[in-house]
Amino acid sequence: MLAEFTLDEAGGEANAVEILLAPLSEDGHTVDAIVGGLSLRPIGADGLSPKRRAVVHPDGPMLFALGSSAAFGERVARHLGIMLAAHEERFFEDGEHKARPLVSVRDRDVYVIDSLTGDLRHTSNDKLCRLLFFIGALRDAGAGRVTAVVPYLCYSRKDRRTKSRDPVTTRYVAQLFEAVGTDRLMTMEIHNLAAFQNAFRHPTVHLDANSAFIGHFAKEIGDAPVAVVSPDLGGAKRAEIFRERLETTLGRPVAKGFMDKQRSGGVVTGDLFAGDVDGRMVIVVDDLISSGTTMARVAAVCRERGATKVSVAATHGVFAEGADALWSEAAIDAVVITDTVPLPELDAAAVANRLVVLETADIFADAITACSGADTGLRRRP
């Protein structure tokens, strides 16, 4: 348990206070001892802690982070130089839940972070419902504006009808956010950007992680010839945007390619490959990795066609059931993802030296700063 607050005594110097308490037990169940720590740090003349520079702006934006997104929210808050606002989450025996803010939000500009991927404890449905109810509670409590910050937005892959009477869940999710009073939704690397923008009637902010990926790969590539490959035609535009930015950063041509793919009933088909990858380092770019079969399939084809090295890059590392096969695929040298999704439990030995996780908290912090405006008192940490 960590508590953090400001101690401001009359006539004395203000201090930032951190208290840490952790239970200890020999058997892992019975608490027989507690270790504690106390930290005091003076607050500078600018009102910010020299170490974390975290303050609460009375008129600025407020930031909440729900459930498993708390760690990500802390990183965003650290980049913004503010503290996460306090809230309560309760789960009842029958599976229902409740979430509410523990501080006043009246007339405030509020941001709520929650990445909507299922895990061993809660499904995507659970998390979506909790986020919607929390936004509703914020509106009932008088929040001036509420922005849902959803690094990974669930149900965004079903954005059109491919079979008779198919659902269009992207639109249904948009209607749910609208119904509870969401003013704006911010997300990263949506599956189909056009469908996403058309589904939501309130403002949206779409972010990408290209700056993080390019910063990483520019160092890896060096002087080697390189190609950017899309694993299917649907992602060709995404891969092309990345390729153009990489080409600008490297200052030399970057080749491109794509793989044909059709998916029906969970079965993937299509063998057509176009592009020159012979003698080149290949970067396969997609929005997410779920089972990993698509990435493994494309990597194997690139190797057969002479690629010297294959790295697969995806913003969201979902790693659903069956993704273990990804780590045994000899054609893949590295898997590069971002921190938008909390990682499931992975075999440390299997992923060693192959998995790279890039941070995106700074990208979200910049977007929140831009949305909040310059007159809120919010400072972006350098």
Which residues belong to the active site? 261
Note the Cα 33 to chain centre separation in Å: 37
Closest to 55 in 3D by CA, of 82, 75, 29, 76 = 82
Q: What is the DSSP string of 78-105?
A: HHHTB-PPPEEEEE-TTS-EEEEESS--
The whole-angstrom separation of Cα 297 and Cα 102 is 49
Q: Which helix (H) or strand (E) covers residue 302, if one does?
A: helix 293-304
The whole-angstrom separation of Cα 237 and Cα 244 is 11
The whole-angstrom separation of Cα 85 and Cα 23 is 25
Closest to 169 in 3D by CA, of 223, 124, 102 = 124
Strand-strand pairing, 334-338 and 309-317: parallel
CA angle (61, 210, 347) in 5-degree steps: 95
Left, alpha or beta for 265 (phi > 0: left; psi -120 to 50: alpha)? left
3-state secondary structure of 184: strand
Strand-strand pairing, 184-188 and 145-150: parallel
Half-sphere exposure (CA, 13 Å, Cβ side) for 72?
27
Task: Indicate the DSSP class of residue 214.
Answer: H
Closest to 233 in 3D by CA, of 264, 272, 189 = 272
Tokens of 246: 């990489």
The whole-angstrom separation of Cα 218 and Cα 201 is 38
